[in-house]
Amino acid sequence: MACPFFIPIERADDLGFPHAARLPLGAPWRGLCGAPGHEQTTPSPQELESCNLGYAKSCARLPRDRACDAVRFAVAKESERRVSLQLVLETSHLPAGNCVLEYDRTTNVWIASHPDRGMQRMAECFLQSFLEKRGSAIPL
């Protein structure tokens, strides 16, 4: 579960997370904070742990009023042509919303994407990590 305000930019395999493949986005990432009033802030290496794992209650930039505490992704369905991702929002470790995003592997286009730029970018990173583990790659 990643922080809902995290906007991943690049893989950060050098951060040294144990069991990096089990991270919510499938790998560690560097990026920007998208919390209101802190857009484009670059989190420190120490803060990136909370960005990558969610539930960053100690983060000073985390808004008091927010729709959720963390974002979780899972592959709902996969075929040669398409991959459907389930996106689940969590608040206090309980579901707070969900949607399905869909990617067409033959055209490299998102058929169903998320309107929030950060959520969509997290979905792209999760899908990239997922497909790399399967020996495929997508242009992002």
- Identify whether 42 is part of a domain: yes
Give the burial class of 40: count Cβ atoms within 10 A of its Cβ; 0-12 exposed, 13-18 middle, 19 or more buried: exposed
The yes-or-no verdict on residue 53 having pLDDT over 70 is yes
- Identify whether 1 is part of a domain: no
- Identify whether 121 is part of a domain: yes
- Identify whether 59 is part of a domain: yes
The yes-or-no verdict on residue 75 having pLDDT over 90 is yes
pLDDT score of 114: 96
The pLDDT tens digits for 17-35 are: 777 778 889 999 999 999 9
Range of the domain at 110: 6-133
- Identify whether 139 is part of a domain: no
pLDDT classification of 139: cutoffs 50, 70, 90: low
Tally of domains in the chain: 1
pLDDT classification of 138: cutoffs 50, 70, 90: low
